[in-house]
Amino acid sequence: MKDLFKISNKKLKSRLIVGTGKYKNFSETAKAIEASGADMVTVAVRRVNITNKKKPILTDYLNPKKIILLPNTAGCFTSQEALRTLRLAREMGGWKLVKLEVLGDKKTLYPNMIETIKSTKILVKEGFKVMVYCTDDPLLAKKLEDSGAAAIMPLASPIGSGLGLQNKINISLIIKQSKVPVIVDAGIGTASDATIAMEMGCDGVLVNSAIANSNYPIKMARAFKNAVISGRDSYLAGRMKKNYFAIASSPKKGLI
Amino acid sequence: MAKIQLNGKKITIKTNLSIFDLLKSYKLNNKKVAIEYNGIIIPKPNYKKKYLKNNDKVEIVHFIGGG
């Protein structure tokens, strides 16, 4: 059975998407990406450092033939900022598949869904394929899908919190109703969180802090690779029925 | 000489400098950056045609690590 993972027109081998922030250096970033097996990574758009001409840059460490860069609007608090960022990203190298996040609160980094839906509509009109970071509200997720989102990316818990899946019921509802991929984004704390999300039937997970902030990021990247594969296989295999009492694993016949 | 604002910093440049020349002076690969010139995104083929003048505001951005 071929288990294809497709976002817009991009076919991905791995269901794990990783962020490239918070690593010690670019060499560690590159090694962690390699160990994670991810073929899509998120990147942010920022000003070039003009005071230091010799400073290495991230894209020198990532092979564009092997890795799909997903420009993200991390840090944008208005629709205007997010649109500006993604239009610049598109000009940089023709990126049409992008990740949109419009934040609403500095303390929780919770998405501002009103601005997010507004921005999604504009971007879709301009020809972008938009993967959208959102709250875990099924109604708003549906509105995003109707607005043309290429993927729905509900948070497990706040960005960088590592609190794991806090509202499994809502995530399940979103999975059930969505016709586009559902990727759990933000809040994943450890490998087992990713397995749980995948077992629930998520199409993918996006992880950054849980890998980059672990003691051994490269080892943790590998743990996530395996966790996502395990979760997906487990989902496809289908879990056994739960029983209230014990059911013996060995036959009674021939007992001595 | 012309005074422009580059990535929020005031700098002085030679007159008749194009965006292409500006990128070259900072050793930047034009494939890896995007330019906003006075609030308008400049398509790459126009870098050689666009000359900088006094009080221009230029933003040069690129991809960095992020989640």
Q: How many CA atoms are closer than 13 Å to the CA of A107, on its beta-carbon side?
A: 0
Q: Which of A24, A25, A48 to mutate to test the interface with B (most CBs of B within 10 A)?
A: A48
Please report which confidence band the pLDDT of residue A145 belongs to, taking 50, 70 and 90 as the band edges: very high
User: Is A228 exposed, middle or buried (CB count within 10 Å of its CB: 0-12, 13-18, 19+)?
Assistant: buried
Pick from B11, B36, B66: CB nearest A42: B66
A106 is annotated as an active-site residue = no
pLDDT score for A62: 87
Please report which confidence band the pLDDT of residue A37 belongs to, taking 50, 70 and 90 as the band edges: very high
Task: Single out the residue of A137, A135, A145 nearest to residue A170, CA to CA.
Answer: A137
Partners of A71 on chain B (C-beta within 8 Å) are: 63
Amino acid at A78: T
Q: How far, CA to CA in Å, does A17 sit from each of A79, A138, A215, B45?
A: 24, 22, 20, 33
Is the confidence at residue A251, as pLDDT, over 80? yes
- CB contact at 8 A, A12 and A40: yes
Partners of B35 on chain A (C-beta within 8 Å) are: 91
Please report which confidence band the pLDDT of residue A1 belongs to, taking 50, 70 and 90 as the band edges: low
SS (H, E, C) A97-134: EEEECCECCCCCCCECHHHHHHHHHHHHHCCCEEEEEE
Q: What is the mean pLDDT of residues A77-99?
A: 92
3-class DSSP state of A64: coil
CA distance A32 to chain B (A): 13
Task: Single out the residue of A28, A30, A23 nearest to residue A61, CA to CA.
Answer: A30
Is the confidence at residue A49, as pLDDT, over 90? no
User: What's the predicted TM-score (pTM) here?
Assistant: 0.91
Return the structure tokens found at B38: 């006075």
Tens of pLDDT, residue by residue over A126-143, are 999 999 999 999 999 999
